[in-house]
């Protein structure tokens, strides 16, 4: 994509990789779950603001660096980030594959603002089979050689056809969770997928760091899913249903935390009022 002409954001819609804003946000969440620790606090401020500029056409942004920095500066009450910090973020995100950066130019050939094309998170992307022109087999290939190759293919399954059980689950998945899920789903990829949905749901409520809470909620939610499957059998998409249970439970925890903080603030306010009252009497 060389020599892109600058212009309105609408002209770059064809480069979007997302069908909706919801889908775009979902993939951004996955990128952050995997690579958030790679960025400094200031770099994350710049990246999050760049994401916000990419919502009109999901995953596409052509805002100038100065415009993004001004927005960050305003959002954080004049405590923004430097241009060098923002550029470091761009280099990191580009190298990680979060987005692709394309230069644009004005009609006179001078350089204009960059075009940022956010990419889909690769874990959910099935490998695409490219159609390539294969050379035709030569006539001097013996039939017996063809038969031997065909028989060999039938005897040896491809790597994608070999399923691995719970013994090969990633070490990132807590063992208590594996020990529960394996009785119902033995495939390693399936177990990892359920835990991945747990991390996504927790991240949405800023609880990805609360590992013990995540495990408790995951186990409780999975048990609720199995109960639903056994009693009714009406769940069309178990993963999606499980994710819905997770979101409800994390939201309930979030509400409890907010209530505790609110009650605590009220007590502090009452104590502060009494303190000021006592001081005024002394004076």
Residue 155's pLDDT is what? 57
Residue 45 makes CB contacts below 8 A (sequence gap 6+) with 72, 76, 80, 81
> DSSP character for 106?
-
Quick check: 204 and 244 in contact, CB under 8 A?
A: no
**Amino acid 156: pLDDT:** 58
Report the predicted TM-score, pTM, of the whole model to 2 decimal places.
0.48
The tens digit of pLDDT for each residue in 11-23 reads 888 889 999 999 9
Could you give the residue ranges of the DSSP H alpha helices within the chain?
Answer: 21-35, 41-52, 65-75, 83-96, 143-155, 175-181, 188-204, 211-231, 238-282
What average pLDDT does range 159-176 have in this prediction? Answer: 81
**Residue-level pLDDT at 233:** 75
The predicted structure's pLDDT at residue 9: 82
Q: In this model, does residue 151 exceed pLDDT 80?
A: no
8 Å CB contact between 116 and 9: no
Q: What is the CB neighbour count within 10 angstroms for residue 48?
A: 15
Over residues 75-102, the mean pLDDT reads 91
Report the alpha-carbon distance of residue 250 to residue 214 in Å, rounded: 9
Contacts of residue 57, Cβ cutoff 8 Å, sequence gap at least 6:
9, 10, 12, 13, 16
Residue pair 218/263 in contact by the 8 Å Cβ criterion: no
* Per-residue confidence (pLDDT) for residue 88, from 0 to 100: 95
């Amino acid at each position: 994509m060389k020599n892109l002409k600058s212009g309105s954001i609408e002209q770059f819609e064809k480069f979007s990789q997302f069908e909706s804003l919801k889908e775009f946000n979902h993939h951004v969440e996955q990128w952050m779950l995997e690579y958030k620790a790679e960025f400094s606090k200031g770099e994350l401020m710049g990246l999050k603001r760049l994401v916000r500029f990419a919502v009109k056409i999901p995953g596409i942004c052509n805002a100038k660096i100065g415009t993004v920095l001004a927005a960050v500066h305003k959002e954080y009450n004049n405590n923004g980030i430097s241009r060098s910090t923002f550029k470091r973020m761009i280099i990191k995100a580009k190298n990680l594959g979060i987005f692709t950066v394309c230069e644009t130019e004005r009609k006179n050939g001078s350089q204009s603002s960059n075009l940022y094309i956010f990419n889909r998170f690769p874990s959910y992307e099935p490998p695409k089979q490219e159609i390539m022109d294969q050379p035709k087999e030569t006539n001097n290939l013996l039939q017996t050689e063809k038969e031997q190759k065909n028989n060999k293919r039938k005897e040896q399954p491809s790597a994608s056809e070999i399923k691995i059980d719970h013994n090969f689950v990633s070490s990132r998945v807590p063992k208590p969770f594996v020990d529960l899920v394996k009785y119902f789903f033995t495939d390693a990829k399936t177990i990892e997928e359920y835990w991945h949905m747990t991390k996504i749901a927790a991240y949405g409520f800023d609880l990805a760091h609360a590992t013990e809470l995540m495990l408790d909620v995951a186990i409780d939610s999975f048990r609720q899913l199995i109960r639903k499957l056994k009693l009714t059998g009406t769940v069309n998409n178990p993963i999606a249903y499980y994710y819905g249970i997770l979101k409800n439970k994390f939201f309930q925890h979030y509400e409890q935390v907010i209530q505790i903080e609110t009650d605590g603030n009220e007590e502090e306010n009452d104590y502060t009022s009494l303190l000021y009252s006592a001081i005024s009497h002394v004076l």
